[in-house]
């Protein structure tokens, strides 16, 4: 059996694509290895969203290509966002790559490797999780229609294509029947889900149906809720769910009306504030994650201070901060990037310091409380878990003392904390 090593880079949406491909390859009798030096074929699922991600993708390709000389590697395949966006350029600059594929070319990749048409069942049916078996990402749509000035996602993944509710529910039930206890609902913009379907539907209806799935499903977590599309109907639907984590990822990107308008975000600062107030009224104790971009073209000191003031006012529970980088083909490419890199980094550092103080205060308020924690990792030295207020990889963790097992929900007494983690012990 030929051995295949797959490296998945970038976001959770890319991870789902990799899981689908691995499932199809396993059904085609390939052996998946975790050691690249042992592979006959290496597949790299690239990210092309930001400069740093593109550099990581190129470096990974070059590193893998070296194994054609030092290892048993016979084929190197590149897929994903970077490959989708720059196929011609990559073919010229990376001749050591045997074939480039786009983001949705799972069947074509399997056909290329087997040398025959791929006529088996849809690879989605055979999706093979790369996450721990107790949680999985559930992608409800591909692409994006929003046209934010800074974003290249539509250039790589195209316009939004929502998956029908019945198809999503079938996949979710299959995942839960295989032991998944937490579903993380993702799309580029989950709140615009269903607008493009022939029989138009809404995110609220989908979430309500997901909420009816039985055990062992315990948590449903929603990501990437565009504030401009977070309607009262969606908020009401979320508030009525039993399994929804009291957590929402709602990227605001900025808090200056001037910058938000240039970004084409669809809402000003007051509109964003009103959405957040509505959420907190409907779902008490909800924790909010957001992302912001500093150093966008034309961002003045006053614009940046508006962001700081807004972060201080709203008291977001989690915050991701990005420095602006020009993306080829986007509307913002035509703007003058007049914020020096050092100033961008300084602003990022200042904002992170502000957020760290907010998170530390929030975490300290949890000392001596008992929280439900889902155990993600166990080794000789520690147990790592998460509360319902934290998504894997991007948010805080809970460092747990005591005995447990991966995928188990534990009651944990919080005894100490810092900005990024809670520390506690299992309550027996």
For residue range 36-71, what is the model confidence (pLDDT) as tens digits?
A: 999 999 999 998 877 788 889 999 999 999 998 887
Q: Looking at residues 415-428, what average pLDDT do you find?
A: 93
Q: Do residue 295 and residue 264 come from a single domain?
A: yes
Q: Do residue 115 and residue 257 come from a single domain?
A: no
What's 59's domain CATH number?
A: 3.40.50.12160
Please give the share of the chain, as a percent, with pLDDT higher than 70.
98
305-339 confidence digits (pLDDT tens):
999 999 999 999 999 999 999 888 899 999 998 99
End of a domain among 121, 140, 163? 121
Of 49-58, 191-200, 396-405, where does mean pLDDT reach its minimum?
A: 49-58
Place of tokens 């080829």: 328
Q: Do residue 181 and residue 207 come from a single domain?
A: yes
Q: Do residue 419 and residue 311 come from a single domain?
A: no
Tokens of 17: 């694509």
End of a domain among 317, 346, 364? 364
- Residue 153's pLDDT is 86
Q: Do residue 250 and residue 102 come from a single domain?
A: no
Q: Do residue 100 and residue 143 come from a single domain?
A: no
- Residue 122's pLDDT is 60
Confidence of residue 87 (pLDDT cuts 50, 70, 90): confident
Confidence of residue 123 (pLDDT cuts 50, 70, 90): low
Q: Do residue 257 and residue 313 come from a single domain?
A: yes
Q: Looking at residues 172-197, what average pLDDT do you find?
A: 96
- Residue 88's pLDDT is 87
Q: Do residue 54 and residue 182 come from a single domain?
A: no
- Contact between 140 and 161 (Cβ < 8 Å): no
Please give the share of the chain, as a percent, with pLDDT higher than 90.
76
Q: Do residue 346 and residue 248 come from a single domain?
A: yes
Q: Do residue 90 and residue 219 come from a single domain?
A: no
Closest by Cα among 286, 285, 208, 282 to 249 = 286
- Contact between 367 and 417 (Cβ < 8 Å): yes
Q: Do residue 143 and residue 99 come from a single domain?
A: no
Number of domains in the chain: 3
Closest by Cα among 366, 359, 424 to 395 = 359
End of a domain among 336, 364, 392? 364
What's 159's domain CATH number?
A: 3.80.30.20
**307 CB-contact burial (10 Å; exposed 0-12 / middle 13-18 / buried 19+):** buried
**Strand pairing of 421-426 and 409-417?**
antiparallel
133-146 confidence digits (pLDDT tens):
999 999 999 999 99
DSSP 163: P
> CA-CA distance, 427 to 415, in Å (whole number)?
12
Q: Do residue 267 and residue 348 come from a single domain?
A: yes
Closest by Cα among 254, 323, 287 to 52 = 323
Domain hosting 408: range is 370-426
pLDDT at 220 over 60: yes
Mean pLDDT of the chain: 92
- Residue 120's pLDDT is 52
What is the pTM (predicted TM-score) of this model? Answer: 0.90
68-76 long-range CB contacts below 8 Å, 24 or more apart? 68/96, 71/36, 71/37, 71/38, 71/39, 72/37, 72/38, 72/39, 72/40, 73/36, 73/39, 73/40, 73/41, 73/42, 74/40, 74/41, 75/40, 75/41, 75/42, 75/99, 75/113, 76/41, 76/42, 76/44
What's 394's domain CATH number?
A: 2.40.50.140
């Amino acid at each position: 059996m030929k051995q295949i090593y797959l490296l998945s880079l970038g976001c959770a949406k890319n991870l789902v694509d990799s899981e689908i491909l691995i499932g199809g390859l396993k059904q085609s009798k390939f052996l998946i290895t975790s050691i690249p030096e042992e592979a006959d074929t290496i597949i790299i699922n690239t990210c092309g969203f930001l400069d740093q991600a593109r550099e990581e993708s190129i470096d990974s390709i070059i590193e893998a290509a070296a194994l054609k000389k030092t290892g048993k590697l016979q084929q190197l395949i590149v897929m994903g966002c970077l490959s989708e966006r720059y196929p011609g350029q990559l073919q010229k600059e990376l001749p050591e790559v045997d074939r480039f594929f786009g983001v949705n070319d799972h069947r074509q990749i399997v056909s290329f490797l087997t040398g025959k048409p791929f006529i088996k069942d849809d690879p989605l049916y055979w999706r093979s999780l790369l996450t721990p078996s107790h949680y999985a990402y559930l992608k409800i749509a591909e692409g994006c229609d929003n046209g934010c000035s800074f974003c290249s996602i539509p250039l790589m993944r195209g316009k939004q294509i929502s998956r029908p509710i019945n198809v999503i529910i079938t996949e979710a039930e299959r995942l839960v029947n295989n032991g998944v206890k937490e579903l993380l609902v993702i799309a580029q913009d989950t709140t615009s889900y269903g607008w493009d379907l022939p029989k138009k539907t809404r995110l609220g209806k989908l979430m309500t149906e997901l909420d009816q799935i039985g055990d062992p499903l315990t948590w449903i977590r929603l990501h990437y809720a565009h504030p401009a599309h977070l309607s009262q109907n969606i908020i009401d639907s979320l508030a009525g769910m039993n399994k929804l984590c009291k957590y929402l990822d709602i990227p605001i990107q900025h808090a200056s009306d001037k910058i938000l308008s240039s970004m084409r975000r669809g809402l000003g600062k007051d509109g964003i504030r009103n959405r957040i107030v509505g959420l907190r009224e409907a779902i008490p104790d909800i924790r909010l994650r957001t992302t912001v971009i500093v150093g966008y073209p034309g961002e003045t000191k006053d614009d940046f201070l508006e962001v700081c003031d807004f972060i201080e006012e709203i008291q977001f529970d989690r915050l991701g901060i990005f420095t602006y980088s020009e993306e080829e083909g986007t509307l913002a490419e035509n703007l003058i990037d007049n914020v020096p890199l050092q100033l961008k980094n300084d602003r990022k550092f200042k904002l992170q310091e502000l957020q760290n103080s907010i998170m530390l205060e929030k975490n300290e308020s949890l000392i001596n409380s008992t929280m439900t924690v889902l155990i993600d990792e166990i080794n000789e030295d520690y147990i790592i878990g998460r509360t319902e207020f934290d998504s894997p990889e991007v948010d805080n963790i809970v460092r747990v003392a005591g005995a447990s097992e991966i995928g188990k929900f534990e009651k944990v007494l919080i005894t100490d904390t810092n900005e990024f983690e809670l520390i506690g012990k299992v309550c027996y």
